[in-house]
């Protein structure tokens, strides 16, 4: 099993349970580890034989701009489902963090790992 990764991807998202969080999107940070085979892409040197990380990034920008989440847990589950269902990942590890969400705290967040259905 091989891993493609996207780390420290910052983008706006509407997430939170407090009124100030519901008033406007805030910056979150995603790090993604995507389990897939890159054998074919390594041999062909063709992007269509891999998961195109630029496409994943744009997809997540678009999807998160159109959605609202109360919890980071739900946002992480959504991102994992996109990677598994839309991009055919065999497994996904998703880290999502709010930046500066609390005084004196740099980041708060969750990390989940999910496998594609057998």
**What would the pLDDT profile of 62-101 be if each residue is shown by its tens digit?**
999 999 999 999 999 999 999 999 999 999 999 999 997 7
pLDDT of residue 102: 72
Instruction: Please check the confidence at residue 45 and state whether its pLDDT lies above 90.
Output: yes
Question: Using an 8 Å Cβ cutoff, are 109 and 97 in contact?
Answer: yes
Instruction: Please check the confidence at residue 18 and state whether its pLDDT lies above 80.
Output: yes
- CA distance to 15, 31, 57, 107, per residue, from 100 (Å): 14, 17, 23, 6
Q: What is the mean pLDDT of residues 34-55?
A: 96
Instruction: Please check the confidence at residue 115 and state whether its pLDDT lies above 80.
Output: yes
Q: What architecture is domain 2-115? A: 2-Layer Sandwich (3.30)
Residue ranges per domain, the chain?
Answer: 2-115
Contacts of 5 (CB under 8 A, 6+ apart): 31, 32, 33, 34
C-alpha closest to that of 113 among 32, 7, 11: 32
**pTM here?**
0.94
């Amino acid at each position: 099993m091989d891993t493609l990764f996207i780390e420290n991807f910052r983008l706006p998202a509407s997430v939170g349970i407090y009124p100030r969080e519901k008033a406007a999107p805030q910056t979150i940070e995603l790090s993604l580890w995507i389990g897939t085979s890159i054998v074919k892409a390594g041999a062909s040197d063709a992007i269509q034989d891999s998961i195109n990380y630029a496409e994943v990034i744009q997809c997540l920008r678009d999807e998160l701009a159109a959605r609202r989440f109360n919890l980071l847990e739900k946002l992480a589950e959504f991102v994992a489902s996109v990677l598994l269902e839309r991009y055919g990942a065999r497994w996904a590890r998703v880290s999502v963090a709010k930046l500066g969400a609390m005084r004196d705290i740099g980041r708060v967040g969750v990390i989940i790992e999910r496998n594609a259905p057998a």
